[in-house]
Amino acid sequence: MIRYNKSDSITHLFCRNFGGVAVGAFLIALAAFASYYFDMRLPIWIRRQAVITMLWLVFAFYLLAAATAIVGTPLALCLLARRRSRSIWVLRSLALCISVLCGMGLLEGAAALRQVVIRRLRDLPTHFPEPSKSDETYIVVIGESSARGEPYHPWLSVGQVAAWQLEKVFPDRRFRVEMLAEGGLNLNQAIGRLRGLKRRPDAILVYSGHNEFLGRYAVSGIVWHYLDDDVPPVGSLPRSVGRYSPVCGLIDESMEQQRLPLAPPPNRPRELIDRPVCTAKEREAIRNEFRDRLEGLVAYCGRIHALPILVIPAGNDGGYPPNRSVLTPDTLRIERESVARDFRTAHRNEASDPAGSVAAYRRLLALQPTFAEAHYCLARLLEHSGKWKEAAAHDVEARDADGMPLRCPSDFQQIYRNIASRWVDVVLVDGPAVLGETSRHQVLDDNLFHDAQHPVLAGYVALAQDLLKQLKAHRAFGWPERVPVPSLDPAECAAHFGIGESEWAEVCTRTALYYSRTALMRYDRSESLEKQKRYSEAAQAITDGLPPERTGIPGLGCRRASSAAPSDVCVESGRSRVTLISD
């Protein structure tokens, strides 16, 4: 007969083993905290790779512990059911497995609670310690780099230009702009920056939508997409498990955050027929979250009596190619290779036989309607033949079918319009429609954008002009009925906000850097590298005294968006009365 000591009871073993698991979990959490905040004096990419490696080890250990506990618990119970197998090691194993399962249950619950907390808007402030000023209107701007006016930050943005003109409409009132927008933020992160408000805003301007995917997934990330793929990508394993485990989802999210600033490997270009950065279900979840967050923000503005101003992000549809082309999941490997061959043949023959290339692209799109690169190339040929409307339609298709979206998709843009139609006190600036009206052929291209996302000076001015028009229509801030909407001029804006020779050169330098960073995201880098070279040369030419309008860069300088001819306007520095507070 086996004798049991009091110290070997299940309760005692459970507490002892659970304490060990808790200590282990605490040490892992402490190591993770130290890896994030301890400066190891190493290059940033080495530190991030070290953190990613550590997270992989945590993920593997967590899966191993889960598998062991799930298999070990029923096995130990079966052994205990047999009287001859009731040994002390079986009791200890059972206690360890139960401890691990309980600890994992607590971790899963905490991770799930975290997801609920960070997605709610109830923790945004409704009481503010600083009082409002009767002679000052306080406007808060949230969003991404376009919201803060890149590549013109900190000199001007849509909010700053509008505030400057509002001071002409209300000469006895001062308009103060607080810039909480930051490059790379998605909408959820942008809204989170409102938690630090100390004073009730009179209006909240949100300009967000380009980073809903780039702000979540690394540019080199892929998922298992085609049905005949042999093995899913190793990197997608944490995300696959994370759909069912909040803890693994948190680990995957932490890995992606570490990979976001890392550039793709320069020696491994992408393929023409690629895979998406996320699954269709993940994309739908992101869209639904975007809708809920935006509508929640509008409701929050109603609670604090702030005017919500929504700016729909427009993108460079006709001048920036898609990053990834993805075919339908049921396309077999041999079919993908055939599509790639046919595309390359049509692409080579564009100059010698444009009509034949148009017909070839149409055949490819009839079979593969999601082939983004074919849409984009077809649009360029249609432009040359004067079919601008059809070209614009294919540009939109190319943008929306992009497997690594860098521009706000159409369904996200429509969310803005749907919310504005349901709420009365919402000011909506329809970016694609506004900039489309300023374009000669209704095509959003390099004449309106420096890169994929950021408008030229005339584009920002057009958005600010429409914002003023919408504010008057809503009688915002008590706009007098007889006071007309001020008319904006790009040259006047540049002079007022102090954009001179050095600032124009800086705009070109920033844009060149943008193209150098995004070139690695495509299978064909030649177009991006060519634009990088042109902007770098323009920066040097401006520094040497050449006016920006004469550099040959479309849209650069103070010409109006609808003007195709260069201008001889010479810009002198000036200073703005609008107060800009940048965090």
Q: What is the pLDDT of residues 180-233, one digit of tens each?
A: 999 989 999 999 999 989 999 999 999 999 999 987 887 777 788 888 876 556
Per-residue pLDDT, 571? 32
Q: Which of 32-46, 122-136, 345-359 has the highest mean pLDDT?
A: 345-359
Whole-angstrom distance, CA of residue 342 vs CA of residue 339:
5
The predicted pLDDT at position 55 comes to 79
pLDDT in tens, 141-153: 999 999 999 999 9
Domain with CATH 1.25.40.10 in the chain: 325-401
Q: How far apart are CA 86 and CA 468, in angstroms?
A: 81
The residues, any chain, with a CB within 8 Å of residue 75's CB and separated by 6 or more, are none
Any idea which of 94-108, 308-322, 493-507, 561-575 has the lowest mean pLDDT? Answer: 561-575
State the Cα–Cα distance between residues 545 and 523, nearest whole angstrom: 37
Instruction: Please report the DSSP string for 232-276 in residue order.
Output: --GGGHHHHHHTT-HHHHHHHHHHHHHHTTSPPPTTSPPPSB---
- Secondary structure (H, E, C), 308-344: EEEECCCCCCCCCCCCCECCCCCCCHHHHHHHHHHHH
Give the architecture (CATH level 2) of 325-401.
Alpha Horseshoe (1.25)
CB 196 within 8 A of CB 128: no
The one-letter amino acid code at 521 reads: M
Q: Tell whether domain 136-216+279-319+406-582 is in CATH 3.40.50.1110.
A: yes
- Residue pair 282/363 in contact (Cβ under 8 Å)? The answer is no
The distance between the two most distant Cα atoms of the chain, rounded to a whole number of Å, is: 103
**pLDDT interval class at 89 (50, 70, 90):** confident
Whether 176 and 579 have beta carbons less than 8 Å apart is answered as: yes
What is the per-residue pLDDT across 123-168, written as a single tens digit (0 to 9) for each? 788 899 999 888 899 999 999 999 999 999 999 999 999 999 999 9
* Every domain range in the chain assigned CATH 3.40.50.1110: 136-216+279-319+406-582
For residue 201, give the nearest of 179, 172, 168 by alpha carbon. 179
